[in-house]
Chains A and B, each alone.
Chain A
Amino acid sequence: MAASYLEEGYSLGSWLTTSDHKRIALLYFAAITAFFFIGGAAATIIRLELATAPDELVSADTYNRLFTAHGVIMVWLFLIPSIPSALGNFLMPMMIGARDLAFPRLNLASWYLYVGGGLMIITALVLGGVDTGWTFYTPYSTLFSNSHVVLTLAGVFVVGFSSILTGLNFIVTVHTMRAPGLTWFRLPLFVWANYATSLILVLATPVLAMTLVLLAIERIFQVGIFDPALGGDPLLFQHLFWFYSHPAVYIMVLPAMGVASEIIPCFARRRIFGYRFMAYAILGIAVIGFLVWGHHMFVSGQAVYASLAFSLLSFLVAIPSAIKVFNWTATLYKGSITLSAPMLYALGFVGLFTIGGVTGLYLASLALDVHLTDTYFVVAHFHYIMVGGSVMAYLGGVHFWWPKISGRMYPEMWGRAAAVLIFFGFNLTFFPQYLVGAQGMPRRYHAYPEEFELLNALSSAGASILAVGYLLPLVYLAWSLFYGARAERNPWQASGLEWQTASPPPKDNFDSEPLAVREPYDYWLTGDEARP
Chain B
Amino acid sequence: MACSKASLTPAFRPRPIAAAYRPVLDGVNAIFLTGQGDATARLARSAGFPYAWVVTPLVIFLALFAWAAAEYVRIYRPPPDAMPVFVVAKQWMWKLEHSNGKREIDELHVPVGRPVRLIMTSQDAIHSFFVPAFRIKQDLVPGRYTTLWFTATRAGEYRLFCAEYCGSDHAMMGGRVVAMEPAQFARWLEEGSPVAGLAARGFELFRRYGCSGCHAAGSTVHAPALEGLLGRPVQFSDGRSLIADEAYIRDSILLPRKDVVAGFDAIMPSFAGQMSEEDLMAIVEYIRSTGR
Q: CA–CA, A448 to B170, complex, Å? A: 11
Q: Are B72 and A370 in contact (CB under 8 A)?
A: yes
Q: Does B169 contact A (CB under 8 A)?
A: yes
Q: How large is the interface on A (under 10, 10 to 19, 20 to 34, 35 or more residues)?
A: 35 or more
Q: CA–CA, A368 to B91, complex, Å? A: 28
Residues of A within 8 A of B170 (CB): 60, 64, 444-445
Q: Are A315 and B167 in contact (CB under 8 A)?
A: no
Residues of B within 8 A of A319 (CB): 54, 57-58, 61
Known: A367-B72, A375-B163. A274 touches B33 (CB 8 A): yes
Beyond known contacts A273-B44, A299-B138, A365-B64: 16 more, CB 8 A cutoff: A133-B165, A139-B124, A277-B32, A277-B50, A315-B61, A315-B64, A319-B61, A336-B1, A365-B68, A374-B163, A443-B165, A445-B171, A447-B171, A448-B171, A524-B39, A526-B1
Q: Are A373 and B137 in contact (CB under 8 A)?
A: yes
Q: Are B57 and A322 in contact (CB under 8 A)?
A: yes
How many cross-chain pairs have Cβ atoms below 8 Å apart between A and B? 205
Q: Are B130 and A301 in contact (CB under 8 A)?
A: no
Residues of B within 8 A of A45 (CB): none
Which chain A residues (203-234) contact chain B, with CB distance < 8 Å? 228-229, 233-234
Which chain B residues (1-54) contact chain A, with CB distance < 8 Å? 1, 3-4, 6, 12, 31-33, 36, 38-41, 43-44, 49-50, 53-54
Binary contact track B202-239/A, C-beta < 8 Å → 1, others 0:
00000000000000000000000000000000000000
Residues of A within 8 A of B138 (CB): 299, 301, 370
Which chain A residues (240-286) contact chain B, with CB distance < 8 Å? 269-271, 273-277, 280
Q: Are A235 and B71 in contact (CB under 8 A)?
A: no
B residues near A (Cβ < 8 Å) are: 1, 3-4, 6, 12, 31-33, 36, 38-41, 43-44, 49-50, 53-54, 57-58, 61-62, 64-65, 67-76, 91, 124-126, 128, 130, 132-133, 135-139, 141-144, 146, 159, 161-172, 174, 272-273
Q: Does A479 contact B (CB under 8 A)?
A: no
Closest chain A residue to B49 by CB distance?
Answer: A330
Q: Does A184 contact B (CB under 8 A)?
A: no
Q: Quote the shortest CB–CB distance from B230 to chain A (angstroms).
A: 19
Known: A60-B169, A234-B126, A311-B69. A270 touches B143 (CB 8 A): no
Q: Are B165 and A60 in contact (CB under 8 A)?
A: no
Q: Does A366 contact B (CB under 8 A)?
A: yes
Residues of A within 8 A of B75 (CB): 367, 370
Closest chain A residue to B55 by CB distance?
Answer: A319
Q: Quote the shortest CB–CB distance from B128 to chain A (angstroms).
A: 6
**Selected contact of B126 from candidates A137, A315, A369, CB within 8 Å:** A137
Q: Quote the shortest CB–CB distance from A8 to chain B (angstroms).
A: 39
Q: Does A371 contact B (CB under 8 A)?
A: yes
**Selected contact of B132 from candidates A60, A318, A336, A371, CB within 8 Å:** A371
Q: Does A334 contact B (CB under 8 A)?
A: yes
Q: Are B32 and A276 in contact (CB under 8 A)?
A: yes
Q: Quote the shortest CB–CB distance from B162 to chain A (angstroms).
A: 7
Q: Are A444 and B171 in contact (CB under 8 A)?
A: yes
Residues of B within 8 A of A483 (CB): none
Can you list 18 A-B contacts (CB < 8 A)?
A60-B171, A61-B168, A137-B165, A139-B124, A139-B126, A228-B144, A234-B142, A299-B138, A301-B144, A311-B72, A319-B61, A330-B43, A366-B68, A367-B69, A370-B138, A440-B130, A447-B171, A526-B1
Residues of B within 8 A of A318 (CB): 57, 61
Q: Are B172 and A366 in contact (CB under 8 A)?
A: no
Q: CA–CA, A365 to B1, complex, Å? A: 45
Q: Are B65 and A311 in contact (CB under 8 A)?
A: yes
Known: A139-B124, A315-B65, A524-B1. A442 touches B139 (CB 8 A): no
**Selected contact of A304 from candidates B58, B71, B72, B143, CB within 8 Å:** B72
